[in-house]
């Protein structure tokens, strides 16, 4: 239900719901606006880039991130909080033989806290339907050509579980600082539609 039409409908329903809560004195609209604004201000792809860079330089953090991402994030001052319900984050690691890619086949679930608002194509029916059945072709369309023997794993997000890809650290980056490493990561790399 992530077509623009449905999004508009949901937005209208949310506004109606807010109006009822406000009428009953259960919420203060300006307070809600402030909370939402603070969340969207914090939610940006640079958060995801920092997570990746730390995982590349710190093996303990990386292990914890892959094991229990929600528990690892606070170590660098981040969290999956801010939404209406708690979300479990799963970080999936690309290796020499495995490439991961994330989708929400049902709608458009996405780790907004770490990646900011999702790109339009992520919500498109074309991407959502095709990446599951023909991931290699879809990745080609993004300009990412994988070797024939690379296994592609497609992760389907939902209301409770969100996914983020941990890309492979590029070669010859041993002398780079964590900030310089973070600058190498792209949003699509975190979704899996780019190598990095």
Catalytic residue flag (residue 108): yes
Asked if 69 is part of the footprint of Fe ion (rule: CB under 5 A), the reply reads: no
C-alpha to C-alpha distances, 85 to 67, 88, 118, 159, nearest whole angstrom: 21, 10, 18, 9
Indicate which single residue of 27, 46, 80, 107 sits in contact with Fe ion (rule: CB under 5 A): 107
Catalytic residue flag (residue 129): no
Backbone angles phi, psi at 174, to 5 degrees: -60, -30
Shortest spacing between CB 109 and Fe ion, in angstroms: 3
Question: What are the structure tokens assigned to 68, written together?
Answer: 């229990």
Indicate which single residue of 78, 89, 101, 109 sits in contact with Fe ion (rule: CB under 5 A): 109
The residue from 30, 79, 97, 108 that is catalytic is 108
Task: Note the Cα 36 to chain centre separation in Å.
Answer: 18
Nearer to Fe ion, 92 or 102 (CB): 102
Question: What are the structure tokens assigned to 42, written together?
Answer: 């914090």
Of 118, 86, 117, 122, which is closest to residue 105 (Cα–Cα)?
Answer: 122
The residue from 30, 79, 97, 107 that is catalytic is 107
The site for Fe ion (CB under 5 A) is made up of 104, 106-109
């Amino acid at each position: 239900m992530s077509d623009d039409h449905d999004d508009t409908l949901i937005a209208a329903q949310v506004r109606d719901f807010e109006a009822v809560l406000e009428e009953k004195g259960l919420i203060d609209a300006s307070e809600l606006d402030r909370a939402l604004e603070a969340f969207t201000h914090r939610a940006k792809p640079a958060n995801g880039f920092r997570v990746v860079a730390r995982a590349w330089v710190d093996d303990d953090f990386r292990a914890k991130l892959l094991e229990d991402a929600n528990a690892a994030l606070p170590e660098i001052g981040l969290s999956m909080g801010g939404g209406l319900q708690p979300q479990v984050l799963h970080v999936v690691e690309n290796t020499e033989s495995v490439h991961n890619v994330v989708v929400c086949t049902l709608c458009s679930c996405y780790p907004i806290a770490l990646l900011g608002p999702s790109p339009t194509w992520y919500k498109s029916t074309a991407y959502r339907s095709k990446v599951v059945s023909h991931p290699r072709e879809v990745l080609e369309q993004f300009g990412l050509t994988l070797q024939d023997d690379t296994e592609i794993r497609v992760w389907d997000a939902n209301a409770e579980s969100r996914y983020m890809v941990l890309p492979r650290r590029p070669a010859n980056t041993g002398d780079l600082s964590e900030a310089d490493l973070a600058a190498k990561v792209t949003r699509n790399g975190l979704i899996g539609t780019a190598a990095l």
